[in-house]
Amino acid sequence: MATAAAIVLIAAVAMFDSRAAFSPSAGTAPGDVGSRWYPFWTATLMGIAAIVVAYRAFTTPQAAEGIFAGRESIFSVLKLAVPMLLYATLIGGVGWKDDATDVTYTVIPPLGFYLATALYMGGFAWWLGRYKVWWVALIAVAFPFVIFAAFELGFRVSLPKSFLYDRGIAPF
Amino acid sequence: MEIANYFVTTVSSLAGGFATALQPINVAMLLVGVILGLIIGVLPGLGGTSGVAILLPITVFIAHGSLPGSNATTAIILLAGIYWGALFGGVITSILFNIPGEPWAVVLLFDGFPLAKRLGRPGLALASSFVSSFVGALVATILFTFFALAIALQALQFGPAELFAVFVLSFATLIGLGAEAPIKSVAMLALGLLLAAVGFDTITGEQRLNFGQISLLAGISFVPVTIGLFGIGEILASAEEQGIGYVEKLSARLGLRDVAQAFRELRKRLVLVLSNSIFGFLFGVLPGHGATAASFLGYGLARQYSKNKENFGKGEISGIMGPQSAADSAGVASLVPMITLGIPGSPTSAVIMAGLFIWGLQPGPVLFVEHQDFVWGLIASIYLGHLLTFIICLLAVPLLAMIMRVPYAIITPFIVVISIIGSYSLNNSMLDVFITVAFGLIGYWLRKLKYPLAPLVVALVLGDSMERELRKALIAGGGNPLYFFSSWLATVVLALAVVLVLIPLARSLTRRRRPAVVTA
C-alpha cells in the first residue's frame, strides 16, 4: 500500500511539473503536442495504475506473515545494505561548501575508491567472514590492488581518488 | 529480392561475419565473455542481465579501441558472450546444488536435481542439459541468420506510425503476457517511460522533470539504474533468501560416457528438442520475455506430449531437455527484435541495446545497411560462442562448481564493488553511484512486492525513441490521431497490441466467474 502511495506521489509531482501540457502554445511545430504532454499522460497512467494496485491491496486479504519471513531475513538484508551505503558515502566523503565564504567544511574526508574498497572488503571479511587478521589484511590489500591494475592500468579507467592523492601523498 | 538471391546474400554476409568474428581480439573477448558469463551464471546472487549491465561501461573503452584492434563489434561480442555463458552456467547450480543460478534454470529443479541426486547421475543430468541447450541455441541461431535480414529489410520501410505501433506492441506483450499482475506491469512501464523523459526534450530541447537540477539535465542514465535494479537488487534479494551460510553440494565430473549417453537420449527426443527450440524462438522474439518464460513453456510441452508423464519430477530427461532447448533458443531469439527493429526482447538484450547507443550505434534495421560488419560479426559470434560455451561446460564443470565454494563474505562485497565501478566509470559521476545504490534498494523492494522489473527497464531504454516516433507521427499527420492507422501494418499491429492488453482482463474476468459457478 505504501509503495503504491509513493508511486501516486511521484506521479502527482510529475503531473504538476508537466502542467504546461495544456498550454495552447505547447508544441513548436503544427501537430506537435509539446514537451510536457508525454510526461503528463505517462504520469497520469502511472498514478491510475498505482491507485488500482492500492485498491486491490486494500480489498484483498493480505498474507498474515507480512513482507519479510522473519527478523533474521531483515537482518540479512541490512547487513549488506548498511555497509554498502557507508561504502558509497566514504568514497566521496561528507562535506559541503559555503558559497558565501568560499570555505569547504569536511566531516569525513573523501577516501576515494581504493581506500574505501580496502575498508569495505576487509571489514566484510572480518565482520561476516570472521577471518584471521592476516587474511583480512590480504583481502583488504589484494582486491584494491588487482582492481587498480585492471582498471587504472589496463582499461585506463580513472576511479575516484582519496584526499591523500590530492595532497600528493599516495597514488590512490 | 528473390529467395535464391536472398539466400546467397545471407550466406555471403554470414561468411563475412565469420571473418570478423574470427579475428584474434574478437575470439579472445568471446572467450573472456563466455567464461565470465559461466561464472556469473553459477553465482546465485548475480544474473546474466546484471553481469552484462555491470560490464557495460567497460565495453565503452573496448568499443573505442582501448585494446589493440578492438571496436564496437568486439564490445558486443564480449557482452553477448556473457549472455551465452550465463544461459549455460545457470543450470549447473540448479542441477548440482538445487539452487537456480538464473531464473530460467528454476525449471531444472524439477527433474535436473532429482536425476543428479536421487538417481545418482549428475554427469548425465548436466550433459543432457548442455547438449539440449546447444541444439536449442543452434536452431535459434540458424533461424536468426535467415530471418533477421528479411525483418530488417521490411522494417526499413517503416514510418513513424508503424514504428510507434511496434513500440506499443512490445509494451503490450509486457503487460499481456507477463507473469506478474498486469496492472503492476502498467505502473512499472509508466515509471520507466517517465524516467526516460527526465532532462532535455529531444524534439524541442526544453527542460523537463529536472526540478532545476543541472545534474539531471542530461537525463537519468540507463546504466546506473539497471546495475542497481539487477546487480545490487539481486544481491540483496539473494542475501535474504539464502542468509549468510553455505549450501549442500554435490560434485560432478562429466565423463565421455555421460556425454555419449546424453547424445543417445537426445536422438530419442529429437522431435521434442527441435519443436521446443522453434517454440522457444517464437516466444523469445516477443519483447520482454526471453528465456525464463520459454523454459516453463518448454517444460509444459515436454510433459504434455510425453508417454512417461509419471516420471516428471523424478529425474525425467525430457524434463531437462525440453525446457533447456526452449530457454536457450529464446535467449538467442531475444536479440532478433533488438537488432532488426531496435526493440529489446528481454531485459538482457535491453542492456545490450543500451550499449549500442553508448557506442554511438543506432539499433534497428539501419544497422544492416550501415554496419554490416557489426551485425554479421555478432551473428557469426553466436555460433562460435555457443560452441565455445558447450566445450567449456563439458570440460570445466568441476571448476565451475567450485565457484560456489567462494565464501559469501568475499563474493558479495566484491559484486557490490564491481557494480560501483560500473556505474561510476561511464560518466565519472558519484551521482551515478548513488543512483545505483538507490535503485538497488528500490529494485529489491519492488521485487519483494512482485512488481516486474522488465517493463521498467525496457521502457527506460525505449522511452525516448517511442516519444520521438509518437510526436513525429503527430507532426506528419498535422495533429490528426487517425494518422496512426494510416497504413494496414500499423493498424494490424495496434489491434494486436489492444488484444494483448485485453488478454489479462479476460483472464481476470474468467477467474472471477469460476468460483461463482462453483458456489452456484
- Does the structure show a pLDDT above 70 at A93? yes
Q: What is the ipTM of this complex?
A: 0.90
Q: CB distance from B58 to chain A under 8 Å?
A: yes
The rounded distance, in Å, linking the Cα atoms of B475 and B187 is: 28
Does the pLDDT of residue B249 top 60, yes or no?
Answer: no
Alpha carbons within 13 angstroms on the beta-carbon side of residue B74 total: 22
Query: Cell 536452431 appears where?
Result: B139
Residues B395-437 have pLDDT tens digits of 887 777 676 667 778 888 888 898 888 888 777 888 889 999 9
Helix H, strand E, coil C: the string for B255-295 is CHHHHHHHHHHHHHCHHHHHHHHHHHHHHHHCCCCCHHHHH
Q: How confident is the model at residue B379 (pLDDT cuts 50, 70, 90)?
A: very high
- Degrees (nearest 5) of the Cα angle B63, B66, B69? 75
Residues of chain B in contact with residue A155, where contact means CB-CB under 8 angstroms, are 58, 61, 66
Cα separation of B267 and A149, whole Å?
49
Side-chain-facing half-sphere of A7: CA atoms under 13 Å: 32
Q: Which tens digit of pLDDT belongs to each residue from B216-241?
A: 888 888 778 888 887 788 788 878 77
- Return the HEC string of B325-377: HHHHHHHHHCHHHHHHHCCCCCHHHHHHHHHHHHCCCCCCCHHHHHCHHHHHH
| Chain B CB within 8 Å of residue A140 CB | no
Percentage of chain B modeled with pLDDT above 70: 91
CB contact under 8 Å between B409 and A125, yes or no, is yes
Q: Which of B209, B425, B440 sits opposite A14 (nearest CB)?
A: B209
Nearest CB to B410 within list A36, A45, A139: A139
**How many other C-beta atoms can be found within 10 angstroms of the C-beta atom of residue B374?**
23
DSSP tag of B520: -
Q: Quick one: pLDDT at residue B149?
A: 83
B203 CB within 8 Å of a chain A CB: yes
Contacts of A75 in chain B (CB under 8 A): none
User: A127 to chain B: which residues are within 8 Å by CB?
Assistant: 409
Q: Check pLDDT > 60 for residue B244.
A: no
Alpha helix stretches (DSSP H) within B371-453: 372-403, 408-425, 430-448
CA distance A167 to chain B (A): 21
DSSP codes joined into one string, A89-138: HHHH-EEEEETTTTEEEEEE---HHHHHHHHHHHHHHHHTS---HHHHHH
Q: Looking at the complex, does the CB of residue B482 fall below 8 Å from at least one CB of chain A?
A: no
pLDDT digits (tens, 9 = 90+) for B270-307: 999 999 999 888 878 876 556 777 888 788 888 888 88
pLDDT category, A104, cuts 50, 70, 90? confident
Q: Give the list of residues 6+ apart from residue B238 with CB closer than 8 angstroms, or none.
A: B44, B45
By C-alpha distance, which of B41, B460, B21, B450 is closest to B222? Answer: B460
Residue B269: pLDDT above 80? yes
pTM: predicted TM-score of the whole model, two decimal places:
0.78
Mutate which of B195, B236, B417 to disrupt the A interface (most A C-beta within 10 Å)?
B417
pLDDT at B245: 45
Q: For residue range B10-40, list pLDDT tens digits in order.
A: 899 999 999 999 999 999 999 999 998 888 8
How close does chain A come to B447, measured CA to CA in Å?
Answer: 11
pLDDT in tens, B37-95: 888 877 765 677 778 888 888 888 888 887 888 889 999 999 889 888 887 887 887 78
> Where on the phi/psi map is residue A130: left (φ > 0), alpha (ψ -120 to 50), or beta?
left
| A19 contacts on B by Cβ (under 8 Å) | none
Residue A106 near chain B (CB below 8 Å): no
pLDDT, greater one: A167 or A47: A47
Q: Which three cell numbers stand for residue B215?
A: 545534474
Mean pLDDT of A146-157: 80
* Residue linked to cell 569495505: A120
B74 or A30, higher pLDDT: B74
Closest chain B residue by Cα to residue A81? B236
Question: In chain A, what residues touch B236 (CB-CB under 8 Å)?
Answer: 77, 80-81
**Which residues in chain A have their CB less than 8 angstroms from residue B243's CB?**
72-73, 76
The chain-wide mean pLDDT, for chain A, equals: 85
Please give the pLDDT value at position B513. Answer: 52
Tens digit of pLDDT for each residue in B428-485? 888 889 999 999 999 999 988 888 888 888 888 888 888 988 988 988 888 888 999 9
Provide, as residue numbers in chain B, all residues whose Cβ is less than 8 Å from the Cβ of A159.
Answer: 421, 424-425
Q: Which helix (H) or strand (E) holds A48?
A: helix A37-59
Give whole-number Cα distances, B320 to B69, B91, B114, B121, B302, in Å: 41, 10, 11, 13, 9
